[in-house]
Amino acid sequence: MDSTSQDQGKVEIKRVCCFLCHVRCGLLATVENGRVVKLEGDPNNPHNKGYVCDRIKQDRWKDWQYSPYRIKRPRKRVGERGSGQWQEISWDQAFDEMADRLAKLRDKYGAETLAFTEGTYRTYNSLHYKFTNLFGSPNTGGAGTICYSSDMWLEPVTYGGFASDKSDWPNSNCIVLWGRNVAASECLLWDWVQTNRHERGAKLITVDPRFSEAARCADIHLQLKPATDTALALAWINVIINEKLYDEDFVKNYCIGFDELKTRASEWTPERAAEVTWVPAEKIIAAARMYATTKPACLPWGQKGSDALGFNSGDAIRAKAILRSITGNIDIEGGDKLSPPSKFPPAFFEHAALPQEQRDKMIGNERFPGLTFKGWDEISVAFPGFYPYSNAPLLFRAMATGDPYPVKALIVVANNPMVCFSNTKIVHEALKNLDTLIVHDYFPNPTTALADYVLPAATWLERPDVAYPTMDHEAVTFMASARVQQRFEGGHDVDYRDDYEFWYGLASRLGQGDSWWGPKAEGMLDFMVSPMGVNFEKFYSDIKYAVAPSIFQKYKKEGWHFLTPSGKVELSSTLLKKMGYDPLPQYYPPKISAESRPDLAEKFPLIMITGARFMPFYHSEHRQPGAFRNLHPDPIFDIHPETAMDLNIADGDWCWIETHMGRIKQRAKTTTIVDPRVVSVQHDWWFPEREEAEPSLYGLWQSSINTILDDDPETLDQLMGCWQQTGLMCRIYKVEDDN
Ligand SMILES: Nc1nc2c(c(=O)[nH]1)N[C@H]1C(S)=C(S)[C@@H](COP(=O)(O)OP(=O)(O)OC[C@H]3O[C@@H](n4cnc5c(=O)[nH]c(N)nc54)[C@H](O)[C@@H]3O)O[C@H]1N2
Ligand SMILES: Nc1nc2c(c(=O)[nH]1)N[C@H]1C(S)=C(S)[C@@H](COP(=O)(O)OP(=O)(O)OC[C@H]3O[C@@H](n4cnc5c(=O)[nH]c(N)nc54)[C@H](O)[C@@H]3O)O[C@H]1N2
Ligand code: SF4
Ligand SMILES: [Mo]
């Protein structure tokens, strides 16, 4: 399946999975002489059925895959950290030196001195656990805390499995996009919504402070005040209970804690919620009725209306889980399917290899236990292959200060911490204070700029995979993805390695070799598909796609029970109570808001959303000059025309966006998609065309909103550790003097 020099002169069509976003469409690659010349949707792929978004359709991927900006060979820092002085070295030298440094640090400080961060699960996702567990460190952290993983933990707390990532979009009669705008974030899913609406007439409800692309197609759009989601959800629960719109049979037979829930929800009349959320009471009632009475309905996961809320994140996640439950939409066709416990073999994670005394050292264990080993141990029956996270804000503080112990080494794979985490100043201090920073990526970026070793990653066109979409409506879909692009282009001095080879290279030099599957990813993939009685090559040629059939209403089966402590859906959670937390959701204003910080309210009168997705960028990616950046040369924030007029700001003006942490600048776009009291600021901006060395770091400090967002532990969700990315406070003024 590899495209090698033997392929000279051949034109072939091969199947490959797109990893440009986590939807993961199946593609057909036209390969000429080992080089991909065309990508199009694979019509036989059961997941996307030929669909592709503009990133592929408009050939924009070519300016990414073939970008002259890519890292070509391993580099080692030779000057001061961040000085932009590098020496190119071989992979062997890099592996030898990195392994040597990590081993010495382990001897000096203990294995917990090594940390790892990840981002959007864009590669072989569990290998960092395997490596760090075998190394002896519990400190794997990343963006998951504010993306997905908190839901992956709190939903099982409620119903013993994860359901919001397996909503049955195509078969639902009512889809609720709550803090989700798949029209710009997961385009295939938007295609499912549109097809369903046009062919089956599904209703669409959107809950979004912006009048987003999805909102424009909605039957009911609730334009709420940012970060008041839990109040709104509690009011829906109030309406659904008071009007007896809940599924009485399901609640009676399969749930516990209904009376306590009823008491809590009674505090949240639509009128009270209207004051908090800005949404008129009649609209709250109409939406709650539509959701509860249109069967089946689904309420898929959304990052902004839950994980991004900071202090109130966990409550919002729980409130939505309760909505799915009391309406009886859990695990039914057209509702939110309950995933079975993960069947990934423990060999991918090696969690058992980490001794308890090391687990106990995980940073965040005490303060924000939800996502740490401690929290996962509580729900291990529901989720045996689990995803523990060190809390990132605490992890960076440990790197910066040595408290509670020195964290002196960091490995970063498929993540860009200098751009993606809040409070970049702390991240910067942290990375500057490391002994060893290792980054494996496609492109140089503000994080690689601070590294000791920068390793060039092979793209998903250059690596094989058994890929599975992270957002799907099927129980599980697997697809074979061939390595279609030749890695070593004739005449070009490049030496890319995929993520498996990266981990294996390090692991084998640190005595872990026997626990891995040999030097190439194919060994791991053979192991992965072996339960199907084939090797990877056979899987690619014969099986191609594997879809597990969905089994609905498992709870009706004799002897089956929800994988919660009580065996029922826990509307009031016995586990949260045992852990000392409120067993029911409650609304609290975010810690960074006029309500919580009256001292800042006058100075920072506008409410700020950050990071609403837009095409075709993906987080901090695609800023390199070329077919992506041409569409968005500059960072932009949305502001209502009346507010702009009050502030004497014209469309296109460069403006300062200031918070209590500092200021950045972006260009104003005047638009009525935001309320006059709200602005929406793009995230993750940096400028690959600018200087790499400090203090520039590719112009990072100019426009990246995360440089002026707070991650003070007091402001985080106190169980999950989520930091706040919306409902924030800022002021805006025109840049008059651009010095
Ligand atoms: N203010 C604000 N901040 C946010 C958000 C927000 O809404 N507002 N959103 C947050 C969310 S939800 C997330 S998930 C994070 C994401 O944050 P990040 O994970 O930092 O996301 P990316 O910028 O996509 O960075 C991924 C890096 O991985 C590299 N990469 C991609 N694929 C591979 C691969 O296969 N192998 C290797 N080795 N490298 C690869 C890319 O080149 C890129 O440099 O950002 C968060 N940050
Ligand atoms: N183009 C593009 N696509 C992406 C990404 C990307 O960076 N770019 N990132 C990927 C990743 S990692 C993720 S996690 C997903 C996220 O996917 P989504 O959750 O769909 O992404 P967002 O656009 O961040 O948020 C959705 C909507 O929430 C709204 N919103 C903002 N604040 C609030 C609030 O307080 N409450 C409510 N209810 N809504 C609010 C925003 O206005 C936005 O329209 O997107 C993925 N897809
Ligand atoms: S929607 Fe995502 S996975 Fe599908 S083609 Fe576009 S970028 Fe690739
Ligand atoms: Mo995310």
d(CA 634, CA 697): 17
Predicted local confidence at residue 6, as pLDDT: 52
pLDDT band at 123 (very low <50, low <70, confident <90, very high): confident
d(CA 593, CA 11): 58
**Which of 122, 309, 608, 708 for a ligand 1 pocket mutation test, highest count of atoms within 8 Å of Cβ?**
122
- Residue 522 Cβ inside 6 Å of ligand 1? The answer reads no
For residue 111, how far is its CA from the centre of ligand 2 (angstroms)? 36
Mean pLDDT in residue range 277-291: 98
The domain segmentation of the chain, as residue ranges, is 3-65, 75-149+389-478+487-548, 163-337+562-578, 598-734
pLDDT at residue 435 is higher than 60: yes
Closest of 298, 120, 93 to residue 202, by C-alpha: 298
Pairing of strands 297-298, 255-256: unpaired
CATH 3.40.50.740 is held by the domain 75-149+389-478+487-548: yes
pLDDT band at 7 (very low <50, low <70, confident <90, very high): low
User: Do 534 and 319 form a contact (C-beta atoms < 8 A)?
Assistant: no
d(CA 116, CA 138): 9
For residue 661, how far is its CA from the centre of ligand 2 (angstroms)? 23
Mean pLDDT in residue range 290-295: 98
**Which of 52, 169, 471 for a ligand 3 pocket mutation test, highest count of atoms within 8 Å of Cβ?**
52
Predicted local confidence at residue 547, as pLDDT: 87
- Residue 301 Cβ inside 6 Å of ligand 1? The answer reads no
pLDDT in tens, 695-708: 999 999 999 999 99
Which residues sit opposite 608 in a β-bridge?
Answer: 679, 728
Using CA atoms, how far residue 236 sits from 273, 308, 322, in Å, is 9, 21, 10
d(CA 520, CA 526): 11
DSSP element (H, E) containing 149: helix 149-159
- Residue 499 Cβ inside 6 Å of ligand 1? The answer reads yes
pLDDT in tens, 135-169: 999 999 999 999 999 999 999 999 999 999 999 99
Q: Considering the domain 163-337+562-578, what is its CATH architecture?
A: 3-Layer(aba) Sandwich (3.40)
pTM value surpassing 0.85: yes
Identify which ligand lies nearest to the alpha carbon of 615. 2
Three state DSSP letters for 481-543: ECCCCCCCCCCCCCCCECHHHHHHHHHHHCCCHHHCCCCCHHHHHHHHHHHHCCCHHHHHHHH
Following CA atoms 665, 668, 673, 674 in sequence, which dihedral angle do they give, to the nearest 10 degrees?
A: 50
Secondary-structure breakdown of the chain: helix, strand, coil percentages, each rounded to the nearest 5:
35, 15, 45
pLDDT band at 367 (very low <50, low <70, confident <90, very high): very high
pLDDT at residue 1 is higher than 50: no
Predicted local confidence at residue 471, as pLDDT: 82
Predicted local confidence at residue 489, as pLDDT: 55
Q: Round the average pLDDT of the chain to a whole number and report it.
A: 95
For residue 79, how far is its CA from the centre of ligand 4 (angstroms)? 34
CATH 2.40.40.20 is held by the domain 598-734: yes
User: Following DSSP, what letter does each residue of 641-666 receive, concatenated?
Assistant: HHHHHHTT--TT-EEEEEETTEEEEE
For residue 705, how far is its CA from the centre of ligand 4 (angstroms)? 16
Predicted local confidence at residue 114, as pLDDT: 98
Tell me the percentage of the chain whose pLDDT exceeds 90.
91
Mean pLDDT in residue range 252-279: 98
pLDDT in tens, 624-669: 999 999 999 999 999 999 999 999 999 999 999 999 999 999 999 9
Tell me the percentage of the chain whose pLDDT exceeds 70.
98
Q: Considering the domain 3-65, what is its CATH architecture?
A: Single Sheet (2.20)
pLDDT at residue 4 is higher than 50: no
pLDDT in tens, 210-243: 999 999 999 999 999 999 999 999 999 999 999 9
Predicted local confidence at residue 382, as pLDDT: 80
Residue 321, helix vs strand vs coil? helix
pLDDT at residue 344 is higher than 90: no
Token couple for 7: 């392929």
pLDDT in tens, 315-330: 999 999 999 999 999 9
pLDDT in tens, 463-513: 999 999 888 888 778 999 999 988 765 556 789 999 999 999 999 999 999
pLDDT in tens, 586-609: 999 999 999 999 999 999 999 999
pLDDT at residue 3 is higher than 90: no
